[in-house]
Amino acid sequence: MMHSRAISWLKVFSMLIFVVPLKGISQTDTLKTDTLKSVPKSSRHSFYSGIGYGSNMIYMGSTISRNQPFEYAALTYGFNNEFYASLSAVHLTDLNPFLAFYAGSMSYNHVFNSWLDISAGMYRYQVAPSLTDSLFSNFSYGDLTLGIDWRLIYSKISAGGLLSDENRAYFQLKNSRYFQTPGFFKDKVYLSFDPYVNLLFGTLIEVETTTGTSLRVSPPYGRWKSFIQSTTYNSYTRKFGFMEVDFGLPVAFNSDFMTVEAELSYILPVYEDSDFPGSKGFVFMLSANFRIF
């Protein structure tokens, strides 16, 4: 048992030299500044590695890790601080194979001025074939985001679509306030804070039974419809509405080549779903990211 666990951890550490978390690795990504900054022409190319741990993986209102802790390793390439391509591998505790699923993303960011920026991204989640029945079906997600810096708060307005067995639309409104401490250790390091409130809107399933109606989440995999059809529900309809509100506080230790970040968030859904348990309560994430060049 100990030998097997040691081999598993060796696999994680072996990815350290390859591995910054993917934007889609969790529901709410973290900006290190209120507005994106340009990089010098001499630094047009960048390469990042990182690893992380989370108590639960939440994506668009659903727990795709099935309420299990996870570890991940990722590799990210950036060009001109605008275009990013990322690959990551995710391990779920007590599941085989060791790498439960993979994720890839391509994103583009552009800053118009000191208060306005835009971004667009495409993300792909690919699960191990032996886990498609217990976790989720493979799916893709795309979004378009408008960022507005109001000085007091930074707002992100995002519209996206999920492509899986059925297409679904999502809308998010995130307000955050980034601030940082003065530099210390000869101004080489500093602490940063980015508290936020995020509102998520998406597709919900209104189910009618003999005892009344209930709202259920439409998860990013395609089994909800077959499950409903195999039960005694009288009818169901899909509706677009308010899904959940998230409160979070990321705290990061930053230097020129490394960022170590801890984030505690609280997720409050507006639906009740015992068959597909969604995100609810506290979620903790810890990540360490390194800039290679």
Residues 203-251 have pLDDT tens digits of 887 777 666 566 566 665 555 444 445 455 556 777 888 889 999 999 9
Q: Which two tokens stand for residue 123?
A: 């993300």
CB 87 within 8 A of CB 107: no
Give pLDDT, residue 217.
64
Q: Specify the CATH number for 2-291; select among 3.30.930.10, 2.40.160.40, 3.90.25.10, 3.10.20.740.
A: 2.40.160.40
CA separation for the pair 155, 115 (Å, rounded): 10
Q: How confident is the model at residue 270 (pLDDT cuts 50, 70, 90)?
A: confident
**43-70 burial, b for 16+ CB within 10 Å, e for fewer?**
eeebebbbbbbbbbbbbbbbbbbbebeb
The mean pLDDT of the chain is 80
Give pLDDT, residue 28.
38
Q: How confident is the model at residue 284 (pLDDT cuts 50, 70, 90)?
A: very high
Give pLDDT, residue 221.
56
Q: What is the pTM of this model?
A: 0.80
State yes or no: pLDDT of 279 exceeds 90: no
The full set of domain ranges for the chain reads 2-291
Q: Which of these, 36, 52, 33, lies nearest to 190 by C-alpha position?
A: 33
What is the average pLDDT across 31-44? 47
Distance of CA 38 to the CA centre of its chain: 24
Residues 138-174 have pLDDT tens digits of 889 999 999 999 999 999 999 999 887 667 889 999 9
Q: Looking at per-residue confidence, does 201 or 232 come out higher?
A: 201
